[in-house]
Chain A
Amino acid sequence: EAQVTQNPRYLITVTGKKLTVTCSQNMNHEYMSWYRQDPGLGLRQIYYSMNVEVTDKGDVPEGYKVSRKEKRNFPLILESPSPNQTSLYFCASSQIPPEGGNEQFFGPGTRLTVL
C-alpha cells in the first residue's frame, strides 16, 4: 500500500530535550515536506526537499532541522524543543513539487507537546 508513515504519532517531552520525528514514504517520491498545524493558522510549511541531499526552508523553519540522506526518509529534528513548538506535524511527499501539478500524500500526523 502506498503510504507516508510518521513516528511517533504522539510525543510529550520537556523543553530542551532533543527529539526526532521520522517520516518515510514507499512511493519513490522525489519531493518531501514537513508542515505544522496550529489552531487558527492552518498548515504552514517548515522545510521541504526536492531530492536526496537537497533541502530548503519553508515558511516557519526556525527551531527545526531536516536531513535527506535517502530518498524514502525525511526526518524532522528539534535540537532544543520549546513550548511554542507544541503542534500537530505532518509529513508529505509527491513525485514532483506541487508547482508541477500533482498530488501530495500526507502522513497521519504527529502530535507533539513540549512542556
Chain B
Amino acid sequence: DAKTTQPTSMDCAEGRAANLPCNHSTISGNEYVYWYRQIHSQGPQYIIHGLKNNETNEMASLIITEDRKSSTLILPHATLRDTAVYYCIVTFQFYFGTGTSLTVIP
C-alpha cells in the first residue's frame, strides 16, 4: 500500500499562494489522493481529493503529476486561519502520517 512523504514544515506569507508538495511514488492506479488539514487538536477537515486529473474547489487546488507519483496542494491566497497541519493521504491504507505544519506569516 502506498504511503506518502511530505516536508515537516513550511512557512507562507499571508496573501500569497501556499504550495504543499507530497510524494506518493508507490501509488497504485486506482488509489485516490486526499488532502486533509488539522487545526490544533480539532478533528481533521477534508480539503480535496483526486484520482488522475487536477481538481479545484472553493478551498484549494490539487495538481497531480501525470505519472501520479506526486501531487501539490495549492491554497491560492493563504490567510492566518490556514495555519494548520496538512495531511496527504492515499486511499487504500488511508494512513495519516505526521503531515506538513504550515505557518502563515502576517
Interface residues of A (CB under 8 A from B): 4, 35, 37, 40-45, 59, 88, 90, 92, 98-99, 101-109, 111
Instruction: Please classify how large the interface on chain B is, using the bins under 10, 10 to 19, 20 to 34, 35 or more.
Output: 20 to 34
B7 at the interface (CB under 8 A from A): no
- For the complex, what is the distance from the CA of A87 to the CA of B12, rounded to whole Å? 31
Q: Is the CB of B91 within 8 A of A99?
A: yes
Given A99-B91, A101-B51, A103-B49: A43 touches B43 (CB 8 Å cut-off)? no
- Are A106 and B44 neighbours in the complex by a CB distance under 8 Å? yes
The 3 A-B pairs at the shortest CB distance, nearest first, are namely A106-B43, A43-B96, A103-B46
Sample (16) of A-B pairs whose CB atoms are under 8 Å apart: A35-B96, A44-B95, A45-B95, A59-B95, A88-B41, A90-B43, A90-B44, A98-B32, A98-B34, A98-B91, A98-B94, A101-B51, A102-B49, A104-B36, A106-B45, A111-B41
Known: A99-B32, A101-B49. A42 touches B42 (CB 8 A): no
Interface residues of B (CB under 8 A from A): 31-32, 34, 36, 41-46, 49, 51, 87, 89, 91-92, 94-99
State the CA gap A17–B92 with chains docked (Å): 35
Residues of B close to A105: CB separation below 8 A: 46
A88 to B46, CA, bound (A): 19
CB of B43 within 8 A of CB of A109, answer yes
Residues of A within 8 A of B92 (CB): 99
Known A42-B87, A98-B91, A99-B92; judge A107-B43 contact (CB<8 A).
yes
When the two chains form the complex, which single residue of B31, B41, B51, B98 contacts A42, counting CB atoms closer than 8 Å? B98
Question: Contact at A108–B98, with CB atoms within 8 Å?
Answer: no
